Amino acid sequence: MAEPSSNGVSLADKAKDMIEEVLPTRSKKQEKKDKKAAEKAVKKEQYAKDENVAPKKASKPVSTEAAVERDPDAMFKEGWLDEVRKERPAKDVCTRFPPEPNGYLHIGHSKAIAVNFGFARYHGGKCYLRFDDTNPEKEEEKFFTAIQDIITWLGFKPYKITYSSDNFDRLYDLAEKLIQRDGAYMCECNDEQIKDQRGGIDEKNKHPRYACKHRDRPVEESLAEFRAMRDGKYKPKEAFLRMKQDDFKTGNPQMWDLAAYRIIDEPAHHRTGKRWRIYPTYDFTHCLCDSFEGITHSLCTVEFINSRESYEWLCDTVEVYKPMQREYGRLNLTGTIMSKRKIARLVKEGKVFDWDDPRLYTLVALRRRGVPPGAILSFINELGVTTARTNIQTIRFESSVRKYLEMTVPRLMVIIDPIKVIIDNLPEDHEEEVENAFGPKNVDMGSHTLPFTRTIYIERDDFREVASKDFFRLAPGASVGLLKVTHPITCTSFQKDDATGQVTEIHATYDKPVEGETFKKPKSYIHWVAESSKHNSPIRVEARVFNSLFKSENPEAVEPDFMADIREDSLTVYPNAVAEVGLTEIQRRAPWPEQAGETKNGTEDAHGEVKKPGPESVRFQAMRVGYFCVDRETTSENIILNRIVGLKEDAGKAA
């Protein structure tokens, strides 16, 4: 029978309710609140680029601590995780994070990492990193390495790194014990026969389940055939070991005589080689490895709530210590895809660079994109942990990242699509130094000096060939202020390329009033970068501006398939961008910020190796443009910048 809960509802029914449950009203209100807060922050940062008005006097900003952090342990102190702790108040808390090494982790896994490692750390316990390496057909060494690197990057250190394969001998012995207790039998049915035993494949014409013809095999016969399967008698799919769980009354599919062992001939296992040709399944392995490692709280997502019954059944049947499994709602982002198979297709067909393409939501991609590990953990903590599946729009995730970056990274002036401006009434050798603070108001990140000279660069969209009343930036006869520069400039003429029709050079005057005249404040200010050989300015860079890869909130629903939903403008490359000289100091002082697994001196991983921060830890706000980081393909001759998030929501994303 399915195990009833305290209110008489079976785990199977409870699972159905949990998986179908939508976000609570509180979460929807929180989304609206976060979005409004993000929009408000954007307006403060836009410096009149979109508003086309002179900047107003800044109000007193929020302190760094208040703007970025809520209690980082909030999700462990209250709510679902607090209740789980009270349900089993073990003195020595022990958890595990058990990924399959068959792909790269995605944003949803970050919640599992934060929950399992964070729960153990908060309660002074330990957390294992256990690789569930029971399927050599799909496992690759690069996935083992990538998973370990991501955990270190997020700021966690496993108590031990273990492998399910560490226990292959012990698991095999328990499989024999299970057979001897008449808890398992050797089955030679094919897939169609098994489906028919479970009611058939026609959802509208299901028939009652019935027992496999091998279910009543004598124990001695099943044991002999199991050993024969181990020794090579059968080919893959010709036979397998099934657990004898079903009473043919339960509605829980996870108790319908699940497979315990199956045959996998090729390839050789990455750790045990050719020693084994039969391998335990997840349903047989997971609970027993939890037991072997003394796990107190086996925390997993609600998709496994039905598995709790089989988890406990197996531990009880073979008489081993039984950990407590409890299930929380998984994190899912809308507007993207997480499927390994579908991401592999995107990579194969050249729609993205690789698995770490910044338009994807694998954790290696988010890392390359420049999302700080602390921002991901802050996002998880902000959402909290409940039993409800959490469906979050990518724009809310980006809003959370933007809020995190606002007070934790320095600011620079970067021109991604530059036009040269020559200020004709300044001397050829005119050069003055302007001081510019790295941080926002009330956040001391130091300052630096940058040159202001006769030749500067401005953004192409800060200039129009024809002046108009609704445009307050640079145009013929119109003036505009330059951030941090005392006086504005006025455009006098411009030149164009006959072949392309693009403006190539602008001429202007520096509007310093003569003595006795009143300074007229410009209606708007723009950012700029000066040309100065003395200061090695500007710094030439390539800027990559990433937008959402997909047009809709549900690419999976698009016909004929998700590939039809890909945006043509998901990546724009600006090969001739320029940055001001402060970039050099920001690179030297990275990581920005120094949090989670990114520290100046590096973070020690589970093997004792110190992992230094990568180039993506060089993060900054390009004023009036967006937040950027340095890409891993950067060389000493070619600096590449990736946009992390814009200063406002991506306008091209469908609502």
Percentage of the residues of the chain whose pLDDT score is greater than 90? 84
CA distances from 150 to 304, 355, 371 (A): 24, 14, 13
Q: What is the pLDDT of residue 622?
A: 97
Tell whether 128 is covered by a domain: no
Among the listed residues 435, 381, 380, 439, the one whose alpha carbon sits nearest the alpha carbon of residue 405: 439
- pLDDT above 70: residue 62: no
Q: Of these residues, 49, 330, 367, 402, which one is catalytic? A: 330
**Long-range contact pairs involving 441-445 (C-beta distance under 8 Å, separation at least 24):** 441/58, 441/60, 441/61, 442/60, 442/61, 442/63, 443/61, 443/63, 443/64, 443/407, 445/410
Location of structure tokens 């403008």: 569
Place 63 in a pLDDT band, splitting at 50, 70 and 90.
Answer: very low
Q: Which residue has the higher pLDDT, 61 or 319?
A: 319
Q: What is the pLDDT of residue 518?
A: 78
Tell whether 487 is covered by a domain: yes
Active site residue 330: yes
Q: What is the pLDDT of residue 241?
A: 98
**Contact indicator for 167, 175 with CB cutoff of 8 Å:** no
Residue range(s) defining the domain that contains residue 454? 415-532
Tell whether 580 is covered by a domain: no
Q: What is the pLDDT of residue 33?
A: 53
Q: pTM of the predicted model, to two decimals?
A: 0.87
d(CA 444, CA 95): 40
| pLDDT per residue as tens digits for the range 153-201 | 999 999 999 999 999 999 999 999 999 999 999 999 999 999 999 999 8
Tell whether 522 is covered by a domain: yes
Q: What is the pLDDT of residue 61?
A: 36
Tell whether 326 is covered by a domain: no
Q: What is the pLDDT of residue 13?
A: 52
Place 7 in a pLDDT band, splitting at 50, 70 and 90.
Answer: very low
Element (H, E) at 404: helix 394-406
Among the listed residues 624, 620, 630, the one whose alpha carbon sits nearest the alpha carbon of residue 648: 624
| pLDDT per residue as tens digits for the range 214-265 | 999 999 999 999 999 999 999 999 999 999 999 999 999 999 999 999 999 9
Element (H, E) at 34: helix 25-45
Tell whether 490 is covered by a domain: yes
Tell whether 23 is covered by a domain: no
* CA angle centred on 265, ends 260 and 269, rounded to 5°: 85
| pLDDT per residue as tens digits for the range 374-419 | 999 999 999 999 999 888 999 999 999 999 999 999 999 999 999 9
Q: Of these residues, 177, 340, 342, 589, which one is catalytic? A: 340
Tell whether 141 is covered by a domain: no
Q: What is the CATH number of the domain that holds 509?
A: 2.40.240.10
Q: 447-453 and 619-622 as β-strands: parallel, antiparallel, unpaired?
A: unpaired
The total number of structural domains in the chain stands at 1
Among the listed residues 428, 570, 419, 576, the one whose alpha carbon sits nearest the alpha carbon of residue 507: 419
Percentage of the residues of the chain whose pLDDT score is greater than 70? 88
The tokens for 507 are 């001429």
What lies within 8 Å, CB to CB, of 283 at 6+ separation is 243, 254, 258, 259, 260, 307, 310, 314
Beta carbons within 10 angstroms of residue 491's beta carbon: 22
Q: Of these residues, 100, 176, 303, 649, which one is catalytic? A: 100
- pLDDT above 90: residue 44: no
